[in-house]
Amino acid sequence: MMERPYRIVLADDHVLVREGLRRILEDRADLKVVAEVGDGIEVVDLLDALPFDMAILDISMPNLGGIEATRRIKKARPDAKVLILTMHKTQEYLQQAILAGADGYLLKEDENADFFSAIEKIRKGEMYISPQLCGK
């Protein structure tokens, strides 16, 4: 029996980024994008209305950024996973994201293979940090 697809919400204020991510994700039968939103407030608004397994969030978004959105998601739905996908390469942002409860931190310049590795590791309950930030 096929298990149900892993349900993902995308939050990025750039429509082209969201559309590109959706295309990459939906090449895989086991992944399904259930919503796309442009800021953190919209993600938080989905918490009660839409079941999802993972939110993929940008840090820099209008109204509510990815770090605060992570904090709110984890408070409301501790079982939901959060992957931060960002251009910010600093240890400071990485630490803020982890303290907020993020399960992973990936850079937008990382490879597609890293993107899928991050999703798989987080799905299994592991933490994923971009290879560029963990000195590997």
> pTM of the predicted model, to two decimals?
0.95
Q: How many whole angstroms separate alpha carbon 82 and alpha carbon 8?
A: 10
Select from 88, 130, 110 the least CA-distant residue to 24: 110
Confidence at residue 134, expressed as pLDDT on a 0 to 100 scale = 82
Confidence at residue 102, expressed as pLDDT on a 0 to 100 scale = 98
Average pLDDT of each block of 10 consecutive residues along the chain (136 residues)? 85 95 93 95 92 96 95 96 96 96 96 94 96 78
What are the structure tokens assigned to 111, written together? 């490879």
Write down the architecture of domain 6-129 according to CATH: 3-Layer(aba) Sandwich (3.40)
Confidence at residue 99, expressed as pLDDT on a 0 to 100 scale = 97
Confidence at residue 1, expressed as pLDDT on a 0 to 100 scale = 54
Please report where in the chains the tokens 């039968």 appear, as a residue: 29
Confidence at residue 109, expressed as pLDDT on a 0 to 100 scale = 93
